[in-house]
Structure 1
Amino acid sequence: MYKVTFYPINIEQFVEEGSTILNAARQAGIILDAPCGGNGNCKKCKVTICAGGRKKDVLACKTFVLEDLSVYLPEVAEHHILSEGKNFPFFWNPILKMEESKTGNGALFSFQGRQVQLKLKSDDWYMVAFDIGTTTIVGYLMDGSTGKQIAADSMLNPQTVYGADVMERCRYAAVHGATELQTKTFEGLNQLLHHMRGKIGINKEQILAVSIAGNVCMNHFLAGISIESLLKVPYHPGFYRWFWRKGKETMFHMNSDGYVLFLPNIGGFVGADTSSAMLNANLDETENLSCLIDIGTNGEIVIGNKTTTIACSTAAGPALEGANIVCGMRGASGAIDHVWMERGQIAVATIDKAKPAGICGSGLIDAVAVMLSYGFIDKTGRICEKKELKQFEAKQNQNRLCEINGEKAFILVFPSMTEREQGIYITQQDIRELQLAKAAILAGILSLLKKKNWEKKDIKNVFLAGAFGSFMSIESAFLIGLIPKEWRGKTVVLGNAAGEGAKEVLCDEQAILRCEKLARQTEVLELASDSEFQKMFLSCMDFAG
């Protein structure tokens, strides 16, 4: 056994000879950015090691522990994770109600129409809603008597060290078992619970109800249900309908007699986060055709109304989270999140107005939209030669076109303005990664429309859900063809719709029934087996003209 010491947090972890630094970090509960799951492809898990009196930069996933090591972790910027959503009014009729104040060590409650006695030493009790995504987790603490939100907190999903994509995590679980990923996720959830409880000084016994709106994989991991069916065609989830468990049947730090609600999956890789977002968008109450789009590593798309809905999950890939992009990063302090042309020069904005450190997904979409608008790239995504530039603004910025490490690139921020030795830039391959992501989403939309013989003009409302949809420029999305241009003027940003839906099922006992009805009426189009999807995908690769 060798000792690995992580600085500057001074955490020690003993591991077997031959373990990687990344595995040592996982065992120590340290989250290293490893979007590729430790395959050495993304090169995002760089750390500095000191061995034999020498320091050097290495990849944590490819460096083996063969002696005692000192590992210096990179400075981690605070991540900006969306917790706000669009609050639609709902009737206060909570799924768990206090019928009689405490007597002795208990109180009488009603849960789904039946009376239950719960251990409680105070009249004050609380509920928590969680939105558990592939990349982030958001929690909301609410007063059980009024439904008022008391606190909210968020974090990166601790599972990110096993890969940016859910399939990478499923494959890891298939080989090593799912317990490790389940435990890591509960550790994160309990950390959020601890932080939120600490803000108002309550104990865990006062948490009586928890709702979970997770994607299909997160739901399976947390419920302890095998993910085997998600790894092979036809990719059916292990459960569809909503269900509840007692707190003591889970790893939650809450009242052991309390209730944990798992919201319904829809099918395939369309999970409870989507059914929860559909609830928040009130798709069951409108006759107009609407399109709900949650853009992320796995983009979920729903089209329908109160009588019929169809959905799909499209593998947009991690590019929109900043992964697989040379200068990419998540939405943290210093990330370029917006790019535009101002007075003939490229202008950028960063999160927290900090010194540019990299570019996140919304910045990438803006950058490519600017490059397309001013002729730095053509509609196929090819970076043009300087002699091909025609617009005045493009010629003014032709010094940004260059080659870096043998690949065509476009410089956004020159080295003098950032700590990066070669500046912050977009490569030809970065553009291809974005094209793959945008083609997957647009082809998913078009496939759903074609399946139901609907036209783009038939859609009356478009809802953008999730963090990415909230932070990106909608106009840039139209310019590159991520969203059909026919939907200009119809698009509304919902924010964290899944989180809002998870709150609603706690605050209105009819909401869980509405959520279940929406999930059950929704047809799932499996794109992997849809012959038309591949044709549409290829046709959607070009950027809008």
Structure 2
Amino acid sequence: MEDLMPTVTFLPGYRKVTVPEGTSLLDAARAAGLAMNVVCGGQGKCGKCLVFIKSGNVSFEREKFRKFFSDPEIARGACLACQATVLGDVLVDVPEGSLIQEQKILVEIPGREEIPLNPAVRKYEVYLSPPSLDDTTPDLTRLLEGVEAVGGPPPNRVYAPLGVLRYLPQVLRRSDWHVTATVALVPGGYRLSSVDKGDTTGRVYGAAVDLGTTTVVVYLWSLVDGQILSTASNYNRQISCGEDILSRVNFSRKGGLARLQHLAAESINEALKSAADAAGIDLEEVFEVMVAGNTVMTHLFLGIDPGYMIAEPYIPVVQRMLSTAARRVGIATHENTGIYTFPAVSNFIGGDVIADILATGMTEREEVTLLIDIGTNFEAVLGNRDWMLSCSGAAGPALEGGEVLFGMRANPGAIESIQIDPATLTPTYTTINSIAAPRGICGSGLVDLVAELLRACVIDRTGGINLEIDHPRIRKGRYAPEFVVAWKEETQIGKDIVITENDIKNLIMSKAAIHGACMTLLDAAGLTARDIERVCLSGAFGNYINKENAITIGLIPDVPLERVENIGNGAITGANIALVNRKRRKELDGLARKITYIELNADPSFMDRYTSSCFLPHTDLSLFPRVQQMLEACRLGQGVGSRQG
């Protein structure tokens, strides 16, 4: 029957795949191994999966999505891969910009402090007396007594895996009874992970992993001297099965769980190998791996069914910290390497947030900290060493470039920061990798742009563009009023890069969800924004965002700028801490139990707070006194918009 099914050929690489009639071009592309750029998860809202039909027949409602295409593109057969279905053999041209490209992945930890070295795995060099007729002590007992004699744990607390026992007699005799035993502290005791010939005590390595929905970051450590040897990052290959968490859970429910588990392990292995090659070490000598990921990613990595987390009553299989051996989850280190995952608080406050909390030091501070991790979804935690409240919600894809006409991920050529001259409305911007001709605008650039347009009086507090301003950059646009950021002659894509009134309102809704959540936490704690002593922004978006502009648009509460910290990739920082310090790792389950989760959908006041936040910066300007002063200056006639509007 397969030879009767349509064949889809993708240019320029001539990748071919046979699929059933009615398959979406997006699913066909994934089957062909193409990682399409689908920020909205295949809902037809972002317009990023542009392809051109060279020949053949597909079903596509072009007029419904016409806003995404220019007239020349329509003439070339433009359509969205996620919304076009295959009706027969088809030849498809995929532009480079429609594929996931190199992303600006946050690897460095800003202002990293030294982490006290107290690893859970250690090596013990021993010289043993060989057995004789007068000393018939079994090999394992002889070895473990030797380990105890040089400072190791007592033999009765050490578990020896079958794999080690199978080669133990040979290595002892071939080494003339001079060996190094690798012993790891594990729940309930110790594990004899490896026995090597001679002295290998200088080679004990561990890896911290941030298993993100989109990217994977690895730090490789020496557990002997506490030095970071190398870092590496790459895309999470699970993207081929779904852009977002919900898509992947649904994929797993359709028999794809094993595939997703394999792809997660493959993604980690790819980063591990890159890091090991850079450091010049053997992955067989990596004996600890600490993995931080959200609750769904942790389930998928371990091959645990996450399906019941998206169906009422929304229950995960497990929330506590888990450990397993590398061989059980396909990690390409020593087979007895301990793989540890962070615990979770709920379906939506996962191990990555627990790692963020470690990174902030909230567990050791008396001052009140507000932690915000922003992506398509966001998580917020408020508290100190004595108490913590948390919540999470959907920010929508706008802050990551989705549902914004020229929004894009943090790829090369994306505008990442922007300023607008209030007198001339001339933008100046920087792009990722300093590429002169931009391709679009990523999240940090969008926050800058909205704040700058507000300062220049081009937009009002609802996000409406003032069309009364007589300026070539301000125009009606095909579907909505728009502001031209870059003329087509300046861009890579041959189109004017604009931000539309609809784009701005999508951004306002995204920021309103985050600010409304922060206010809900403050109210639950009986506090106000004035009581916040630190605001920690985590993740790549939080690291590159302009703090002042985030306050200007009402994304975060109005606090003094010196109280706002970009902590970088908090998930990898926390994973590093838990990797090299076993005392901190032991505290993780207790930390997770300490955090109270507030379900925003069940909080009757959240929607009121969200609605009040759907203005720039808020309906109540007294919450943003500095922005209030700026808007007053605009009203009194400063800026092009106020003079001409």
* TM-score, scaled relative to structure 2: 0.78
Report how far residue 91 of structure 1 moved.
Answer: 1.4
1:309 maps to 388
Cα distance in 2 for partners of 1:162, 1:408 equals: 37
Cα 1:39/1:50, change in 2 over 3 Å: same
2:45 maps to 41
1:258 maps to 337
1:204 paired residue among 283, 287, 290: 283
Q: Contact conserved, 1:120 with 1:206, CA < 8 A, in 2?
A: no
1:214 maps to 293
1:392 maps to none
Q: Contact conserved, 1:88 with 1:280, CA < 8 A, in 2?
A: no
Cα distance in 2 for partners of 1:164, 1:487 equals: 37
Give the root-mean-square deviation of aligned CA atoms. Answer: 2.5
Report how far residue 67 of structure 1 moved.
Answer: 2.0
**Which amino acid in 2 is paired with 1:30?**
L
2:592 maps to 519
**Which amino acid in 2 is paired with 1:187?**
E
Cα distance in 2 for partners of 1:37, 1:120 equals: 48
**Structure 2: segments with no counterpart, 5+ residues:** 58-74, 127-170, 618-627, 629-645
**Which amino acid in 1 is paired with 2:47?**
K
Report how far residue 340 of structure 1 moved.
Answer: 0.6
**Which amino acid in 2 is paired with 1:353?**
S
1:118 maps to 193
Cα 1:382/1:27, change in 2 over 3 Å: same
Q: Contact conserved, 2:56 with 2:89, CA < 8 A, in 1?
A: no
1:408 maps to 481
Q: 357-366 vs 174-183, which deviates more?
A: 174-183
Report how far residue 410 of structure 1 moved.
Answer: 1.0
1:353 maps to 434
Report how far residue 350 of structure 1 moved.
Answer: 0.9
Q: Contact conserved, 1:469 with 1:493, CA < 8 A, in 2?
A: yes
1:362 paired residue among 440, 444, 458: 444
Sequence identity of aligned pairs in percent?
32
Which secondary structure state, in structure 2, belongs to the residue aligned with residue 485 of structure 1? coil
Q: Contact conserved, 2:371 with 2:538, CA < 8 A, in 1?
A: yes
1:25 maps to 29
2:109 paired residue among 60, 72, 85: 85
Q: Contact conserved, 1:234 with 1:268, CA < 8 A, in 2?
A: no
Q: 372-381 vs 123-132, which deviates more?
A: 123-132
Q: Contact conserved, 1:268 with 1:524, CA < 8 A, in 2?
A: no
Report how far residue 142 of structure 1 moved.
Answer: 1.7
Cα 1:532/1:161, change in 2 over 3 Å: farther
1:170 maps to 249
Cα 1:242/1:531, change in 2 over 3 Å: same
Report how far residue 115 of structure 1 moved.
Answer: 3.8
The aligned runs of 1:257-276 (5 Å cut-off) are 257-276=336-355
Q: Which has the larger radius of gyration?
A: 2
Which secondary structure state, in structure 1, belongs to the residue aligned with residue 40 of structure 2? coil
The aligned runs of 1:333-482 (5 Å cut-off) are 333-342=412-421, 344=424, 345-354=426-435, 355-386=437-468, 389=469, 398-482=471-555
1:99 maps to 124
Q: Contact conserved, 2:45 with 2:402, CA < 8 A, in 1?
A: no
1:224 partnered with 2:303: yes
2:563 maps to 490
Report how far residue 472 of structure 1 moved.
Answer: 0.9
**Which amino acid in 2 is paired with 1:60?**
A
Report how far residue 481 of structure 1 moved.
Answer: 0.8
Report how far residue 89 of structure 1 moved.
Answer: 2.8
Report how far residue 177 of structure 1 moved.
Answer: 4.1
Q: Contact conserved, 2:389 with 2:521, CA < 8 A, in 1?
A: yes
**Which amino acid in 1 is paired with 2:584?**
A
Cα 1:370/1:340, change in 2 over 3 Å: same
Which secondary structure state, in structure 2, belongs to the residue aligned with residue 407 of structure 1? coil
Q: Alignment length, in residue pairs?
A: 536
2:182 paired residue among 108, 126, 132: 108
Which secondary structure state, in structure 2, belongs to the residue aligned with residue 66 of structure 1? strand
Cα 1:204/1:50, change in 2 over 3 Å: farther
Cα distance in 1 for partners of 2:193, 2:484 equals: 61
**Structure 1: segments with no counterpart, 5+ residues:** 390-394
Report how far residue 300 of structure 1 moved.
Answer: 0.9
2:81 maps to 60
Q: Contact conserved, 1:336 with 1:348, CA < 8 A, in 2?
A: yes
Q: Contact conserved, 2:25 with 2:86, CA < 8 A, in 1?
A: yes
1:134 partnered with 2:156: no
Cα 1:254/1:437, change in 2 over 3 Å: same
Report how far residue 42 of structure 1 moved.
Answer: 2.3
Report how far residue 161 of structure 1 moved.
Answer: 4.4
